[in-house]
Amino acid sequence: MSTIKVVEPHQKSVDQVKAGLSQFEEMFKKYGVKLAWNGAKASLNGPVSGSIAVGTSDIAVEIKLGMLAKMAGIDASKLENSIRKRLKAALSEQ
C-alpha cells in the first residue's frame, strides 16, 4: 500500500481554506471518493482512504492507495503532483 502525504502552507483562516476546497472536493468525487468533514478535518473513503486536516498555517492531505487503486492503475507520483497543483490553486483563490 502506498501513502501520499502533501502539506501546503497557507495564510488564510480555516473557514477560508475549507471554502476554497470545493473544486478539490469535486476532483475526489469524480473518482468515487467521499469526504466527510468534522470541523477542520475530513476523512476520505472510496477507492482510496485518508484524511485532510486544515490547520491555522497549513493543510495536510494524506492518501492511502489500496489494492483497488493499484488495480485501477492509479500512479502515486502523478496523483501526488495533481494534489499539489490543485491545492495550490485552491489556496491562491479568493
Domain map (residue ranges) of the chain: 2-92
End-to-end CA distance of the chain: 36
Interatomic CA distance for residues 44 and 52, integer angstroms: 8
> Residues 42, 51: contact at Cβ < 8 Å?
yes
Q: pLDDT by residue for the chain (94 residues), tens digit each?
A: 689 999 999 999 999 998 888 878 888 888 788 999 999 999 998 888 899 999 999 999 999 987 767 777 777 888 899 889 988 888 887 5
Beta strands at 58-65 and 34-38: parallel, antiparallel or unpaired: unpaired
2-92 carries CATH number 3.10.310.10 = no
Q: Which helix (H) or strand (E) holds 41?
A: strand 41-45
CA distance 33 to 45: 5
For cell 486536516, name the residue: 53
